[in-house]
Structure 1
Amino acid sequence: MSKRIADAAEAQPASLKAGERPVSETSPDEVGEFEDEYEDEFESEDEIFEAGVDGRPDEEREADEQRDAMDIDKQTFIPGRTKLAPGETLAPDPSTYEMLHTISTPWPCLSFDIVHDTLGDDRKTFPATIYAIAGTQADANRPRENELMVLKLSGLSRMEREGETDSDGDSDEDEESPSDPILESKTIPLGSITNRIRVHQNPPQSRDYSKPSQTIAATMLENSQVLIHDVSAHLASFDVPGTVLSPSTSNPISTLRMHKSEGYALDWSPLQPLGKLLTGDNDGLIYVTTRTEGGGWVTDSRPFVGHSSSVEELQWSPNERNVFASASSDGSVKVWDVRSKSRKPAVDVKISKTDINVMSWSKQTFHLLATGADDGQWAVWDLRHWKPNASSGSSSPQSKPSPVASFGFHTQPITSIEWHPTDDSVIAVSSADNTITLWDLAVELDDEENRDAGVIDVPPQLLFVHYMESVKEIHWQTQMPGTVMATGSNGFGVFKTISV
């Protein structure tokens, strides 16, 4: 949770930048140790007054006053509601995080995806490790420096807390002390900015977790091409010191050129082991590309047509292999069946007057769909209440249905949204207002309870606010409960809160 902190005195340590791991200037052994005020004896009453009005040395008294001033100045920062005064900066509240790290890369990344690894599920020990892929956004004058990055983040340590004990009452002396995270990377030249990148691995029901799975990455580039790479060898090389990758491993296994304009919508089917890919562009066209038994890639010659503006997001149904949804800057969400000969949507609903930027289909409760819009609104919809089109040739969307939940907390466009992988009431949302918020839809408070808590203008479902500059995309690490990874203008952030 971000705090705003006023500069109290020249001796006060500089506030941390939001998202940085707080580092104490004193060692753990020094924290909490103070000079005994009775250790020095004063020979006269004059010496007592010289030491301070309360009989303590000036340094100790001033330090206490400074700490008191800092405690008074700390306030929770609420986006769009809290204003920073001159001399105030944002800093994370360490007591609200179980883990907090930032990792820099040579160029910022607009998009990334987390790779399912063989280290086990439900991991709660530290230091932690995450594997991911990302695509860079190099300077416009240096497009050839753009790369696909295969990443290994290790040494992700737990937040150190003074005096914390484990469940047996013993201190955590056996745990590895906090250290800086380690970023290892393997790169593949791309030559163009990555708009969206997604990983495909064998679906969970057909995956052998004891063996490395083939990992395929689809990268949607600014030049309108879609590149598909097999990054399995790159991932494996992290754990085999001295591995030298052949230059051929950087070659795409397929290059798709059916789009005539760039796009941002990309999704792999979770129910197709070989690989089935959705891509959408700024012309409103949606294509399906399927991997054949022989390893080739075939794109349907006829696109799915229906949006009057750019396709911003695509999501396969988590439980029906032939169904997907699309969201567009025309303000509508459409549901499609790939078996349809007409290539028209089966369901067409207008839900916003502004662009629908992002969308997430719940993997726990299959009839729930979350959307985020350009006006800062995000909402959850019950697809059972969306009526099918009267005819497959209908081009008029339905009037806006009522959402299950809707929030206008964010003040800028929603940039990413994702359901918690195992809890169908928890959602992570990021916004161009430089914040990531975590929500629990199961929480309910009435107005009186809100007033008593002093947060009448804050939705009770809001669990947490994390500050991150120009945050673009967020994902849950599904094997590490409650862990969120995000990308922004200053690199990657990884955090886990004590509230989720």
Structure 2
Amino acid sequence: MSAADQDTFAEEGDGMEEQGDSADDDEGVDMEEEEGADGETKVYVPGIEPLQPGERLEMDQSAYRMYHECQTGAPCLSFDILKDNNGDGREDFPLSMLLCAGTQADKAMANRLLIMRMHNLHGTEKAKKEEDEESSEESSEEEDEDEGASKKPLMELAMMPHFGAINRVRVTRRSEQTLAAVWSEKGQVEIFDLRPQLEAVHSSAAMKTFMQQQKEATALFSFSGHMTEGYAIDWSPLVPGRLVSGDCKKNIHMWEPQEGGASWRIDQRPFSSHSKSVEDLQWSPTEATVFASCSVDCSIRVWDIRAPPNSMLAANEAHASDINVISWNRTEPFLLSGGDDGLLKVWDLRQFKTGRPVATFKQHGAPITSVEWSPADPGVFAASGADDVVSQWDLSVESCDTKVQSCDTKVQSCDTKVQDLHGLPPQLLFLHQGQSDIKEIHWHPQVPGVLVSTALSGFNVFRTISV
């Protein structure tokens, strides 16, 4: 089944509405089945064997529990997922979610900071069959048509003009506020209160008022002390409103929230042990004063804000080239890193001083652009690369070379055991394709197994059969 059968979103007028079938047959490609010379289908594994002339990829919908696409006009190369009030651990369809994203348009004046509310997101045919198996009732053709109409995905979009391309956006909740921290090409880090946009995407009346009053986004607070642009930024998960930001000149600044919720005290003494651009930052999920950083100088450093300006732990040659992204495991003392060398490395902070990772994976054929541990399973993580692939991994699967944990989990993708495919590590769960120039991925913190990815070609929202 091709992606032409999938639901897609596209921009229309002032909002986002469901659009018809996609014209691309190669969207949403995972470890797909490819038809060989004998007419039989076979599994296509990126990087193992190139496509031959005349061969094409088709999405195997049975490999997904859910799959949707959307576009926002200008590409959003960074986004974050906002927690909603619908509860944690929800898996029943239809699903809904809130995203905050920033555009990178061709012209500075054309950029937007936006809130997306996606809802009425239903599962694929596989998920539908599983639901049908649980129910013995049969529906008529007329009922099926009505059901199809009711399953159209919907999205509300509230956009605020923002001068300058947005490099990275991260969101947090502080008391009754929902805040977005934005790194932009202006060389400033800005904080925005998202309340007007959130009200707009939940109420047609509020949306009408929002559209009438729409003007350039006004920051609640901004900081120009970096003196250059940057990409690294992260909110503390333990201290509401605490922030850390890093720039392309190697400096890191810590932000401390002040009473009133509209200002921050920023330490003018930067954390400055890196020698080149700081690419990513991550707060510890268990220690309120500790964060990690990675850099173009090939190092990963761990800092304690009580002892500036030097890091307390460092792996100086963690990768052979630029380290682009890191992710801190929420329950285990592990850091995950991805670099320009295409490598994914898992670091045990208890052994960090040795400078040796506990696991290294080479599956992507281009620089790693995003990594993130699953919030639902401490052994699972996802990564994206400039090779247009999103990979899913499970460290609980044991191999001869890598022993992080052990269990009897079977690794499958598209009903094909990964262990049976030559050259693939057993920890590899799934390979998802179909987007061009993937920049960032995030697991949904409240909906287990759901991944959202953004690329030049738009957003994918999906859940595979593997997680």
TM-score range relative to shorter protein: 0.7 to 0.9
> More deviation in 369-378 or 344-353?
344-353
Equivalent in the alignment of 1:466: 432
Is this contact kept in 1: 2:160–2:215, CA < 8 A?
no
* Correspondence 1:19 to 2:28: yes
Q: Offset at 1:105?
A: 0.9
Partner amino acid, structure 2, of 1:404: V
* Correspondence 1:159 to 2:124: yes
Runs of at least 5 residues in structure 2 that lack an aligned partner in the other structure? 4-21, 402-409, 412-416
* TM-score between both structures, scaled by the size of structure 1: 0.78
Inter-CA distance 15–313: structure 2 relative to 1 (3 Å threshold): closer
Q: Offset at 1:478?
A: 1.3
Inter-CA distance 125–292: structure 2 relative to 1 (3 Å threshold): same
Larger Rg: 1
Equivalent in the alignment of 2:187: 224
Is this contact kept in 2: 1:111–1:196, CA < 8 A?
yes
Partners of 2:290 and 2:138 lie apart in 1 by 49
* Correspondence 1:429 to 2:400: no
Is this contact kept in 1: 2:35–2:55, CA < 8 A?
no
Inter-CA distance 286–71: structure 2 relative to 1 (3 Å threshold): farther
Equivalent in the alignment of 2:290: 323
Inter-CA distance 497–321: structure 2 relative to 1 (3 Å threshold): same
Partners of 2:391 and 2:137 lie apart in 1 by 32
Inter-CA distance 199–68: structure 2 relative to 1 (3 Å threshold): closer
Is this contact kept in 2: 1:312–1:329, CA < 8 A?
yes
Q: Offset at 1:172?
A: 8.0
Q: Offset at 1:499?
A: 1.4
Partners of 2:58 and 2:134 lie apart in 1 by 32
Q: Pick the aligned partner of 2:217 from 250, 264, 276.
A: 250
Q: Pick the aligned partner of 1:186 from 158, 163, 170.
A: 158
Inter-CA distance 377–93: structure 2 relative to 1 (3 Å threshold): same
Partners of 2:463 and 2:99 lie apart in 1 by 17
Partner amino acid, structure 1, of 2:191: I
Partners of 1:218 and 1:319 lie apart in 2 by 22
Partner amino acid, structure 2, of 1:107: A
* Correspondence 1:481 to 2:448: yes
Equivalent in the alignment of 1:99: 66
Partners of 2:68 and 2:321 lie apart in 1 by 34
Partners of 1:128 and 1:72 lie apart in 2 by 38
Equivalent in the alignment of 1:44: none
Is this contact kept in 2: 1:315–1:324, CA < 8 A?
yes
- Structure 2 SS opposite 1:384: helix
Deviations for 1:198-248, whole angstroms, at most 9, x for unmatched residues?
00114xxxx7xxxxx421001100121111100022112222221113558
- Structure 2 SS opposite 1:216: strand
Higher strand share: 2
The CA RMSD over aligned residues, in Å, is 2.9
Partners of 2:442 and 2:267 lie apart in 1 by 30
Superposed, 1:78-477 pairs within 5 Å as 78-139=45-106, 142-161=107-126, 164=130, 166=132, 168=134, 170=136, 176-177=147-148, 179-202=151-174, 213-243=176-206, 244-245=209-210, 246-247=213-214, 250-273=217-240, 275-295=241-261, 296-341=263-308, 343-350=309-316, 351-365=318-332, 367-387=333-353, 401-445=355-399, 454-467=420-433, 468-477=435-444
Q: Offset at 1:188?
A: 1.4
Partner amino acid, structure 1, of 2:312: A
Partners of 1:91 and 1:456 lie apart in 2 by 22
Is this contact kept in 2: 1:20–1:100, CA < 8 A?
no
Is this contact kept in 2: 1:165–1:172, CA < 8 A?
no
Inter-CA distance 18–257: structure 2 relative to 1 (3 Å threshold): same
Inter-CA distance 441–171: structure 2 relative to 1 (3 Å threshold): farther
Inter-CA distance 123–330: structure 2 relative to 1 (3 Å threshold): same
Off by >6 Å, runs of 4+ in structure 1: 67-71, 449-452
Is this contact kept in 2: 1:2–1:77, CA < 8 A?
no
Partner amino acid, structure 2, of 1:438: Q
Is this contact kept in 1: 2:35–2:41, CA < 8 A?
no
Partner amino acid, structure 2, of 1:242: A
* TM-score between both structures, scaled by the size of structure 2: 0.83
Inter-CA distance 166–302: structure 2 relative to 1 (3 Å threshold): same
Equivalent in the alignment of 2:19: none
- Structure 1 SS opposite 2:196: helix
Inter-CA distance 267–353: structure 2 relative to 1 (3 Å threshold): same
Q: Offset at 1:20?
A: 8.5
Deviations for 1:321-372, whole angstroms, at most 9, x for unmatched residues?
111111001110011111114x11111112112011000000121x111000
Inter-CA distance 167–220: structure 2 relative to 1 (3 Å threshold): same
Q: Offset at 1:446?
A: 6.0
Q: Offset at 1:422?
A: 2.2
- Structure 1 SS opposite 2:331: coil
Inter-CA distance 72–404: structure 2 relative to 1 (3 Å threshold): farther
Q: Offset at 1:124?
A: 1.2
Partners of 2:311 and 2:2 lie apart in 1 by 43
Is this contact kept in 1: 2:228–2:247, CA < 8 A?
yes
Partners of 1:171 and 1:443 lie apart in 2 by 39
Partners of 1:452 and 1:493 lie apart in 2 by 23
Is this contact kept in 2: 1:438–1:464, CA < 8 A?
yes
Q: Offset at 1:306?
A: 0.8
Equivalent in the alignment of 2:7: none
